[in-house]
Amino acid sequence: MKQPFGVILAGGQATRMGGGDKGLLFLGGQSLLARVQDRLAPQVAQVALNANGDEARFEGTGLPVIADSVEGFAGPLAGVLAGLDWAASQGAETIVTAAADTPFFPCDLVPQLLLASEGMTHPLVLAATPDAKRGRARHPTFGLWPVALRDDLRAALEGGLRKVVLWTDGHGGREALFPQEEAFFNVNTPEDLEHAETML
């Protein structure tokens, strides 16, 4: 399999943070987005940013910006679809997604997702971590996605589907288990940003 392309998902509305772009918030002197980009770039062939609205605010990143093609803030799956369409135009077979507000995700994210996908016709794997209450927690913004299923995903979104795991489970999606519970800690609120500072 060819090396996946990377897509950073930043298309949300950040309502719990009071709106704006969470990825542009600073953590330890560097933006969350820059931290995510630094972690993802060495693991993939190319990186793009999924974001909606004025692209100029991301000029400093050097990343191509791809907007959702499905209207009305359809959630992470709309960002995945935008990434798959972009990757298809570049001749890629798969993408790996990462959320712009999750700065500590594993540096071996992509190798572990690929390992879990071995033998699959259409590699489709979500990251998961141990969870005291549920046994394990899936992280639907961190996954390996096949370009070959993009039209199926488009049809599902146009039909009103919004829950990531409903779509991945319907296609026999797997999980890659990462041992560190805090690895996918994401910044949703000002308090989370303070906690991330202590995690640094």
Given a cut of 50, is residue 3 above it in pLDDT? yes
Q: What's domain 5-199's architecture?
A: Alpha-Beta Complex (3.90)
The strand ranges marked E within the chain are: 5-9, 26-27, 30-31, 47-50, 65-66, 94-99, 125-131, 135-146, 174-177
16, exposed or middle or buried, with CB in 10 Å at 0-12, 13-18, 19+?
A: middle
pLDDT at 16: 47
Per DSSP bridges, beta strands 135-146 and 125-131 are antiparallel
Within the chain, residue ranges assigned H as helices are: 32-40, 76-89, 109-116, 150-158, 164-170, 190-199
**What average pLDDT is seen over the chain?**
93
- Output the furthest CA–CA distance in the chain (Å, rounded): 44
Q: Which region, left, alpha or beta, applies to residue 18 given φ > 0 means left and ψ of -120 to 50 means alpha?
A: left
Domain spans of the chain, in order of start: 5-199
pLDDT (mean) for 97-117: 98
Give, as one character, the DSSP assignment of residue 70: S
For the whole model, what pTM was predicted?
Answer: 0.95
Q: Report d(CA 3, CA 56) in Å as an integer.
A: 29
Q: Read off the pLDDT of residues 186-196 as tens digits, 9 standing for 90 and up.
A: 999 999 999 99
d(CA 85, CA 196): 33
Q: What is the helix (H) or strand (E) element at residue 92, kind and residue range?
A: none
Q: Average the pLDDT over 126-150 and give the result.
A: 95
Across 111-140, average pLDDT:
96
Q: Which residues pair with 99 in a beta bridge?
A: 9
Q: Provide mean pLDDT across the span 85-92.
A: 98
Note the pLDDT of residue 13. 57
Percentage of the chain surpassing pLDDT 90? 85
Residue 104's contacts (CB-CB under 8 Å, 6 or more residues apart) are 182, 183, 184, 185, 196, 199
